[in-house]
Structure 1
């Protein structure tokens, strides 16, 4: 497979992953599918870091756009363009790692919720064991309804998307190196 076609495949795979990250991060602002928690400031702290929106979203859309251009015939589909694609892919790796780190923190600390005493806190943050496998603890969060499952599903989706983003951008860095050293394929038609 030529380096240009590989770049296009990687870019067109990065687009949906970036949109998934953006959507997950936006949805995390509405625990229990209710806007009142965002309005009142009762949002899990890691959601405010916007790992999916900034890291897995915007920091991936820009490289994906450039990487798709390196796969096209023309000004970017040359050795210099492939060299620049390495830089943009490295930016994508950084964005994916940021999104992954925020998602891991969000899973580790657990959601901000109202406990049985009516206090807003993060009940699982300083616990000795993991709340992820102890379903009995999930009942400690009374409001928003099912916030633990809500956060777990979305943060795991962000983790999976960011892992794929990092992997694809790393592949593009290697592909860009080969394209820079060997040149891109060009199917020139004979007259």
Structure 2
């Protein structure tokens, strides 16, 4: 398998996991759909600091976008070199 296809596959999986992390942290912030826990400061530090949204969400979304963007079929390769990124580690 070529690295570009593998990177794109990993990118899509990271995209799904990042979105799940964001949704899970939002659900933790509003347990049972109520806002009183947040207003009364009865949430844990992990939920209050939004680690799932910032760290597990947006930072992973950036990585996913980079991995998805690595696979390009425009023929320019990386940094304009035609042969860069076109070879595979193991030829079949």
Normalized against structure 1, the TM-score is what?
Answer: 0.40
Residue 185 in structure 1 maps to residue 86 in structure 2: yes
Residue 3 in structure 1 maps to residue 9 in structure 2: no
Residue 65 in structure 1 maps to residue 65 in structure 2: yes
The runs of at least 4 consecutive aligned structure 1 residues that moved more than 6 Å come to none
CA distance in 1, matches of 2:43, 2:64: 30
Q: Tell me the CA shift for residue 43 of structure 1.
A: 1.3
In structure 2, runs of 5+ residues without a counterpart are 88-92
CA contact 1:4–1:184 (8 Å) conserved in 2: yes
Q: Tell me the CA shift for residue 7 of structure 1.
A: 1.1
Partner SS, residue 12 of structure 1: helix
When the two structures are aligned, how many residues end up with a matched partner? Answer: 84
In structure 1, runs of 5+ residues without a counterpart are 81-181, 187-191
User: What is the root-mean-square deviation in Å for CA atoms of aligned residues?
Assistant: 2.3
User: Which is higher, the Rg of structure 1 or of structure 2?
Assistant: 1
